[in-house]
Amino acid sequence: MDLIGVIMNAGAGLSVYRTQVATASHNIANADTPGYARQDAVPTETQPAEVAGSNAFVGRGVTLEGVVQSRDPFVEAQLSTAYSNSSSTSAESDALSTITALDPQVDGSVTAALGSFYSALRDLNQNPSDLGLRRSVVDSAKTLATAFNTTVNSISTSRTAIDQNVVAVVDKANGILASVADLNQRIALAENSGRTPNDLLDVRQNDLDQLAQMLGARPIPDDHGGVNVVLPGGTCLVSGIVASKLGYQADPSNSNHLDVVFEPQDGANPVALNQNELGGQVGGLLSARDDTLGAAESDLNNFAFELSQNINQQHEQGYAIDGTDGHDLFVQLTGPTAAAQNIDVDPAIYADPSLVAASGSMTAGSGDAGNLQAIIATEDKKLSNGLDPQESFAKITSDFGIAVKTVNDNASFDKNLLDDLTSARESASGVSVDDELLKLTQAQNAYNALSKVIVTTNTMLDDLMKII
Amino acid sequence: MRVTEKMIFESSVTQTGKARENLAEAQEEVASGSRVIHPGDDPVAASLSVGHTVDKARYTAIGNTAQRAADELNAADTALDGITTVANRAQQIATQFGNDTYTSTDRATAAVEVNGLYQQAVSLLNTTYGSRYIFGGSKDNAAPFAADGTYNGDDEIRKVEIAPGLYQAASIDADQVVKGSSGGVDLMKTMQDLSTSLTANDGAGIRQGIDKLNTCIEQLAAGRTQVGMAQDSFQSAVTAAQAATGDETVKIGKLLDADIVDASTRLASAQYSLNATLTATAKTLTMSLADKLG
């Protein structure tokens, strides 16, 4: 090999180490960038050259094999599901933890109102002609109705707030779906031209992580560098370079709460997606809205309806203080639907507590409490669920509590699992500034040494020129 | 495991967050005194507390109404005692003035006292407790006994709960006490007759009143016995209801209240843990190769 060749080889080496310095710099700059995977400039030795007139081979320096990403496929394969599960249970847990209306010791609870209502009836039973005690019964009935209203409103308001969250998440997810389709195209173009677009891959991976968190969507790679995105129920949202959209529409069978719908590319009618066809944040939010809160709202409505029916039916059997027939103590409800929202004290009785039908006989005096004792007995009357009123509300509290505890425990478990996996990803793909500084130093030393090689070889050339 | 700066930062954030969360939970428990704030904290305790809370209200109401019934019966007993005194005095007058040594003038004077006693009896039979006439049965908003002794009330016995679903008579049939059941003697008529006999200077008529008034006094005594027994029941109910209320309060406390010693210990532990986490984080974050390289 001639001296010029040595200088050329050293020059090529300088280029490799410049690239290593640039890569380390890029890594350090992106140490905190979400989705970024550490890159390595991988050097490789150049094919040796045969020395003329001998069988010896002499090395020709170093060249750059490529700049590659550090990713662990085993960890990456698990992260999508972990993101989906953790986001789902966290979103559900957060949504449920805002409900305080069923707290055991909250002011204005149905529990306290139920106790106060029957206490007022007992007080009146002792002296039914006392108008003050009658007012107390009517007021406590109003308090009970208000407790139902407040409790169910708290739940239905949360359900409506969840609708708004779902809309926000779906809108954001649509943007990311379009971004993934666009990145699929750009990545395919780059790879077709023989380059590895590491940074585009990072951006797409970050998008895929977000889609797993938002929708529980998982990536399915194709053979051309692209990634398809599929919902847990199998609905394909991104196919190669084509992205579909999700939308939402009111569901009349579910109090007009919003369904998430798949909007086909061909303009066909949107298809409503079941809750189990979605995961991530949206799946968790829908589960909180329709399973736990939906059940609590429905149970409260049934409870309010049946309790008011039982009390009304007995109240109608009695007589007011003036001997007139008793009518409903609570307004007549048409059915369980929205019963807890609509329950209220009959306006006529609220205005005139003497209409409370305490008496069991038309001819009895104002001190007769025959019907009151029967009304008090509704406290232990079983409802259609086989439970008395206090047991019914205890069950609503218990069902809600168990659901919250279960989802909280799951959220904690899923979060720990996700933390472990993100740590594993960070360990495999993350940037250690210390490592990069060492690589910088290493590349700097190699660069210095190669510079010396060039200077030395150049001196040798000068010496040779002097001879000539 | 390869550890990057980001892992250290994220671990610090997670660990500090957990330590702060534990601290906040312990603080809330100590400050509120409650172990179960939300149903999810302990679904079983939250559910059981519903029943105990309603039961507590039930026993409190039973205790209160039983006490009011006992107070009202006490007023009834006082009134019956007064009427018995009236009947005894009327009997004394009948015994004294049944003796024919008394002149018509003496008996006329005695008649005036009997008339006064009669009015006193009417007044006692129209006793009110609060705003209610306690001897009128269910017709408790008007005086049950007219000036002529006619009973305008009814025979309903009012009932008040002494235990869940168990009712005890809280009034007496005053008409029956005053007039007696079959074969009984009407106190009011007997006193009217005594007055008439005294005015008419009718010795035989006056003497008839002695035995009749004796029967009336026995009827009143029977009425007072009923009242006394009911009072005992209600006093027992008050005691039992107070005990049951206390019992329910203890049950609710056991279910929902924080164990302050345990909660305080956890609070101290959480404070120590947070302090240690912050110290470790601060020390770890200061270490970087960048500071060592010239």
pTM of the model: 0.85
The pLDDT assigned to B294 comes to: 66
Given an 8 Å threshold on Cβ–Cβ distance, is B54 in contact with A114?
yes
Q: Residues A119-154: pLDDT tens digits?
A: 999 999 999 999 999 999 999 999 999 999 999 999
| A83 — pLDDT class (breaks 50, 70, 90) | very high
Q: How confident is the model at residue A17 (pLDDT cuts 50, 70, 90)?
A: very high
Q: A213 vs chain B: nearest CA distance in angstroms?
A: 18
Calculate how close chain A gets to B264, using CA atoms only, in Å: 21
Residues A399-432 pLDDT 10s: 999 999 999 999 999 999 999 999 999 999 999 9
**C-alpha atoms less than 13 angstroms from C-alpha of A422 in its C-beta half-sphere:** 21
Q: pLDDT category, A1, cuts 50, 70, 90? A: low
**Interatomic CA distance for residues A120 and A267, integer angstroms:** 62
* Overall size of chain B counted in residues: 294
Question: Inter-axis angle of helices A3-29 and A433-467, to 10 degrees?
Answer: 160
A422 neighbourhood in chain B, CB within 8 Å: 10
Hey, what's the torsion of the CAs at B286, B290, B293, B294, to 10 degrees?
A: -100
Predicted local confidence at residue A366, as pLDDT: 87
Q: How far is B7 from chain A (nearest CA, A)?
A: 7
B134: Cβ contacts below 8 Å, ≥ 6 apart: B72, B75, B76, B79, B127, B128, B140, B171
Angle at A240 between CA A235 and CA A241, to 5 degrees: 115
Tokens of B40: 């999810």
Give the β-pairing of A62-69 and A218-221.
unpaired
Confidence band for A264, pLDDT divided at 50, 70 and 90: confident
Q: Which residue in chain B has the smallest CA separation from A375?
A: B165
Q: How far is B222 from chain A (nearest CA, A)?
A: 24
- Residue from the list A116, A366, A397 with its beta carbon closest to the beta carbon of B140: A366
DSSP code per residue over A192-221: HTT---HHHHHHHHHHHHHHHHHH--EEEE
Kindly list the domain boundaries of chain A, sorted by start residue. 3-70+431-467, 76-99+165-293, 115-156+296-407
Mutate one of B48, B133, B138 to test the A interface: name it (highest A CB count within 10 A): B138
Task: Name the residue type at position A374.
Answer: A
Nearest CA in chain A to B171: A126
pLDDT of A383 over the 80 cut: yes
Interchain pair A433, B5: CB under 8 A: yes
- Between A119, A394, A405, which is nearest B57 by CB? A119
Give the pLDDT score at A120.
96
Query: Is the four-CA dihedral B206, B211, B212, B214 of positive or negative sign?
Result: positive
* Chain segment A203-217, per-residue pLDDT in tens: 999 999 999 999 999
Q: Which residues of A touch B136 (CB under 8 A)?
A: 365, 367
Task: Specify the CATH number of the domain B51-253.
Answer: 1.20.1330.10
User: What's the pLDDT score for residue A106?
Assistant: 85
pLDDT at B79: 96
Does residue A115 sit at the B interface (CB-CB below 8 Å)? yes
**Mean pLDDT across A248-258:** 92
Closest CA to A28 of A440, A438, A436: A436
State the distance between the two ends of chain B, measured CA to CA, in whole angstroms: 28
Question: What's the alpha-carbon Rg for chain A, to the nearest Å?
Answer: 37
Q: How far apart are CA B128 and CA B143, in angstroms?
A: 9
Determine contact, residues B70/B224, Cβ cutoff 8 Å: no
- Distance, in Å, from the CA atom of A142 to the CA atom of B290, rounded to the nearest integer, reads 71
Contacts of A303 in chain B (CB under 8 A): none
Please tell me the distance in Å from A336's CA to the nearest CA on chain B.
22
Output the CA–CA distances (angstroms, integers) from residue A19 to A23, A61, A62, A81, B232, in the order listed. Answer: 6, 15, 12, 36, 101
Supply the pLDDT for residue A47: 83
The yes-or-no verdict on residue A61 having pLDDT over 80 is: yes
Considering chain A, what is the average pLDDT of its residues? Answer: 93
Phi, psi angles (nearest 5°) of residue A148: -60, -50
Looking at residue A195, its amino acid is R
Q: What is the pLDDT of residue B181?
A: 73
Per-residue HEC secondary structure of chain B comes to CCCCHHHHHHHHHHHHHHHHHHHHHHHHHHHHCECCCCHHHCHHHHHHHHHHHHHHHHHHHHHHHHHHHHHHHHHHHHHHHHHHHHHHHHHHHHHHHCCCCCCHHHHHHHHHHHHHHHHHHHHHHCCEECCEECCCCCCCCCCCECCCCCECCCCCCCEEEEECCEEEECCCCHHHHHHCCCCCCCHHHHHHHHHHHHHCCCHHHHHHHHHHHHHHHHHHHHHHHHHHHHHHHHHHHHHHHHHHHHHHHHHHHHHHECCHHHHHHHHHHHHHHHHHHHHHHHHHHCCCHHHHCC
Q: Do A405 and B43 touch (CB under 8 A)?
A: yes
Task: List, for chain B, all residue ranges whose pLDDT scores fall below the cut of 50.
Answer: none
- Contact assignment for B156 to A100 by CB distance below 8 Å: no
* B54: Cα within 13 Å, side-chain hemisphere: 23
Spell out which residues of chain B touch residue A32, defining contact as CB-CB under 8 Å. 6
Neighbour tally for A69: CB within 10 Å: 16
Residue in B6, B170, B256 closest to A104 by CB:
B256
Give the number of other CB atoms < 10 A from CB of residue B152.
15
Give B-chain residues touching A118 at CB under 8 angstroms: 54, 57-58, 61
Question: Which residue is closest to B291 within chain A, CA to CA?
Answer: A434
- Chain B residues with beta carbon closer than 8 angstroms to that of A364: 138-139, 154, 156
Angle at A36 (CA atoms; ends A30, A38), nearest 5 degrees: 80
Q: Which of B9, B21, B32, B47 should we substitute to test contact with A (largest number of A Cβ atoms within 10 Å)? A: B47
A26 band by pLDDT with thresholds 50, 70 and 90: very high
Size of interface A-B (CB pairs under 8 A): 204
